[in-house]
Amino acid sequence: MSSTSTRPISNGRLNLEQQRKRAKELLKGINAGEPAALSRVNQWITPRSAALKLADAQLVIARECGFASWPRLKQHIDSISLANQRLLSEGDQDLKTLHIRCGSDIQHSLRTAGLTGDFLEFSDPFCIGPLSDSDPQTLLRERATFLAEAFDLAPADALGRQQQGYGTLLRLDQYQRIVLWFEHDSYDQLILAYLLHRLRELQPSAELQLIAVDQVPGVERFIGIGQLAPEVLSWLWPQRRPIKPELLQLGSDAWHALTADDPTALLALIQTGTPALPMLGKALHRHLQQLPGQHDGLGLTERLSLQIIQRQGPLPTGKVFAALMRNDEPLPYLGDLMFWWILQPLLGGTTPLLQIDDRVADWPQRVIQLSPQGEAVLQGKADGFTSRANGYWVGGVELQPGQPHWRYDAAQQSLHRHSG
């Protein structure tokens, strides 16, 4: 291993011997006067005349991994090891358990970690498309229709998938414990809000518990639970907390605000800070930023995507998505097909904001660039919303070009009615 490598960890898996080896290699690089090694040290240690020791190199390694000190790093690694030992001996078999997650990404890892309860994937992407405060059967049909149209699915397949997720919620009384596994982005948190709302209505007899994560020690850029190694899921297991009535109430409040055709209640809820679950308020705010911006008519995803293309020039569409997720998006929540769907109204109509080479079959390889209209929008000379080929929904709020609609000023955190 090169002494110049900072080796950021993405899955949370930390090995103490490996970190000790990294510290020794860093010290070797320091003593050899390697510029990269010295630069790393200068980021974390105040320059001094005395020779640096192994403890100093260990401090640098700990700081690079996100810990205040080497003992803190070692303590975290020990806590993961202890959690794994306990889980392998105890598991989740003390109570009949249902694990609920907004995807299947951790299902295998939970098994590897030693959790054997049933697993429910409830993955309706409420962060895109219309929402209504309808009864569950009506909602699932509305959402199935949207998903079939958005992602070119067979209507029967879309409906069947929805029925599996929504239907399981009607059979919760067979379980003694229900554990919700969610992270901090709007994809997860909007689904979590709905599930909390439904649990408040259904009042199952099971113990209700939540694992909600917005960061993990040692992970430089935490995107979601699905990126974590099984042993880190074992470490999260004892951190689950009971879902109390105030959290169930917050879920209902959030769901009602999300599905309203007027976003003022949603903004008011965001401004409370949602103390029962602060990460929910942050995700709701990110969701609200999909409203057309007050000054350019672009939702935040559209704005960031256009800015990436303006900054880097024509790019394969897949690379635009990668740059958005890795660098520009403050709260990554999109899957690749969702991103492609969001771009469609910017590619069509009489004044498209983007131009794309569609001679390549697979859309991630198609080169995309700004149109003159897209350039004008980013320069403040044209309105992005009126340039769209068609409208869209932000939760229960319908937005159509040419009609009065809501706009959001992120700088002032204020809503405005726009004439059309």
**Residue 42 is encoded by which pair of tokens?**
């200068």
Are residues 68 and 44 part of one domain?
yes
308 found inside a domain:
yes
- Nearest CA to 360 out of 349, 352, 368 is that of 368
Phi first, then psi, for residue 116 (nearest 5°) are -120, 5
**pTM value?**
0.91
Are residues 250 and 140 part of one domain?
yes
C-alpha 347/C-alpha 353 separation (Å) is: 6
Helices (H), ranges, 324-389: 336-347, 372-378
Task: Tell me which residue range forms the domain holding 196.
Answer: 91-255
- Nearest CA to 158 out of 172, 178, 142 is that of 142
Are residues 64 and 122 part of one domain?
no
In this prediction, the residues of the chain whose per-residue pLDDT falls under 70 are: 1-9
- Nearest CA to 174 out of 194, 211, 196, 202 is that of 202
Q: What percent of the chain is predicted at pLDDT more than 70? A: 98
Residue holding tokens 């009971």?
242
354 found inside a domain:
yes
Are residues 99 and 71 part of one domain?
no
Are residues 336 and 219 part of one domain?
no
209 found inside a domain:
yes
Q: What is the pLDDT, as a whole number, of residue 3? A: 40
Specify the number of domains making up the chain. Answer: 3
5 found inside a domain:
no
**Residue 381 is encoded by which pair of tokens?**
């000379």
349 SS3 class: coil
Q: Give per-residue pLDDT as tens, 339-370.
A: 999 999 999 989 999 999 988 889 999 999 99
Are residues 225 and 197 part of one domain?
yes
Last residue of a domain, one of 48, 78, 108: 78
Strand segments, DSSP code E, in 51-148 are 97-101, 118-121, 129-130
CATH assignment at residue 381: 1.10.10
Are residues 312 and 232 part of one domain?
no
Burial label for 319, CB within 10 Å (0-12, 13-18, 19+), is middle
Are residues 306 and 205 part of one domain?
no
Residue holding tokens 């029967």?
156
Are residues 147 and 237 part of one domain?
yes
C-alpha 24/C-alpha 1 separation (Å) is: 11
What residues does 118 pair with on adjacent strands? 98
C-alpha 188/C-alpha 126 separation (Å) is: 9
C-alpha 286/C-alpha 208 separation (Å) is: 27
280 found inside a domain:
no
Are residues 60 and 25 part of one domain?
yes
Are residues 138 and 175 part of one domain?
yes
Are residues 312 and 227 part of one domain?
no
CATH assignment at residue 198: 3.40.1360.10
Q: Give per-residue pLDDT as tens, 227-266.
A: 999 999 999 999 999 999 999 999 999 999 999 999 999 9
Last residue of a domain, one of 194, 222, 255: 255
Last residue of a domain, one of 189, 222, 255: 255
Contact 397, 382 (CB under 8 A): no
C-alpha 7/C-alpha 177 separation (Å) is: 38
Q: Give per-residue pLDDT as tens, 293-303.
A: 999 999 999 99
291 found inside a domain:
no
277 found inside a domain:
no
